[in-house]
Amino acid sequence: QSPHNKNQHHIIAANLDQSLLFATLKNPKTSQGFIDRFLIASEAYHVPAIIIFNKSDLYGKKEMAKFEELKSIYGSIGYPIQAMSVSENTGVKEVKDLLKDKVTLLSGHSGVGKSSFINIVFPELILKTQDVSGWSGKGLHTTTFAEMFDLPFGGKIIDTPGLREFALMDISKQELSHFYPEMRALISECQFNNCMHLNEPDCAVKSGVNDGSVSIDRYVSYCNILDSIEEKSW
């Protein structure tokens, strides 16, 4: 990542009121690691984050149960979560209300319905949408630019092709847990002030996992991302 690029990210981030991630639980399924990386980037830039699960029309019992579980995990950390279906126009008004009079960065992996959403809140701008097809269930990348648009009802959106444009910067293994708010709240109680919450004795984060104040899924994602940071520096 070039320094020029990085400065641009800081300039964009400094002007944001919030970031909004489009995710889905089906066709294609967004991984929790993807969601957490987005949240870490938002925390690193001090931008409040919102998660919207689109394509709720496709969710069966299993996906609805998963949605409720995620809503409880992320909601208790302080991240608002909502379900939406652009196809059936449910939950769309609620998302529009979140955008009103705010500067919002929109993000999401390909095929999640971001262009479809922008097309209905901002019909003047017709973005190309593409069918989700092929064995992977992921759409081809059709959104290839980042631009700021004025919303007709007040506010602005910045559309990015996803995390490629709003990526994790150089976060060290040591500081990763600072970007998990529920862990950050416990860190000062770890015995070691450089605790990475793995095998250290008297770790408040691991106690939090045991007593349920830190979700196991979030802790697993923390460990995975910690691993990926190590690989990168080799």
Ligand X SMILES: Nc1nc2c(ncn2[C@@H]2O[C@H](COP(=O)(O)OP(=O)(O)OP(=O)(O)O)[C@@H](O)[C@H]2O)c(=O)[nH]1
Give me the residues that bind ligand X (CB under 6 A), please: 54-55, 57-58, 85-87, 108, 110-116, 129-132, 139, 141-143
Contact string 144-183 vs Zn ion (x = CB under 5 A): ----------------------------------------
Contact string 181-200 vs Zn ion (x = CB under 5 A): ---------x----x-x---
Token pair recorded at residue 132? 């989700």
Contact region with Zn ion (CB under 5 A), list: 41-49, 67-75, 163-171, 205-213 = 205-213
User: Does 222 engage in binding with Zn ion (CB under 5 A)?
Assistant: no
Q: Which of 79, 142, 136, 78 is nearest to 108 (CA)?
A: 142
Task: Give me the least distance between CB of 92 and ligand X, in Å please.
Answer: 9
C-alpha 96 chain-centroid distance = 18
Which CB, 22 or 179, lies closer to Zn ion? 179
Task: Give me the least distance between CB of 91 and ligand X, in Å please.
Answer: 9
